[in-house]
Amino acid sequence: MKKLVLAILMLSFMACKEENDDKVKEVDKSGSVETKVHISHLNDSLDVMKTENIFWVKNKDVKRVTRLDTIPALGFSTEQGENSSGQDTTLKVKKNYQLFITVN
């Protein structure tokens, strides 16, 4: 079962590449596991990763498993930008995690 969930999760992320030319628009609900992963910033030192698995059998949502994990924040980076007056300024931006899925 773990391998199935990981395989579907990996396929979901592969579908989200920058071009989005093969992005999944609808989940096959006849028999699948839909996995959603979202990371949000909690504060300057912590982020929260939410993982949700939805189990579909015969077009019915038979089970949902949601997991919240507190993870260390990656800190800040600086980027150049313009303020509302059009002046160049340095912005302090929170770093985001990159997601990589390995399927065994």
Q: Which residues contact 46 (CB under 8 A, 6 or more apart)?
A: 70, 71, 72, 73
Asked if residues 93 and 73 have their Cβ atoms less than 8 Å apart, the reply is: no
Q: Please indicate whether residue 86 or residue 65 has the higher confidence score (pLDDT).
A: 65
Query: For 29-54, how does the pLDDT look when each residue is reduced to its tens digit (9 = 90+)?
Result: 999 999 899 999 999 999 999 999 99
Q: Above 70 in pLDDT, residue 99?
A: yes
Asked if residues 9 and 101 have their Cβ atoms less than 8 Å apart, the reply is: yes
Asked if residues 73 and 94 have their Cβ atoms less than 8 Å apart, the reply is: yes
Which tokens is 12 given?
């979901």
Band (5; pLDDT cuts 50, 70, 90): low
Domain boundaries, the chain: 2-94
What average pLDDT does the chain have? Answer: 83
Q: Above 70 in pLDDT, residue 104?
A: no
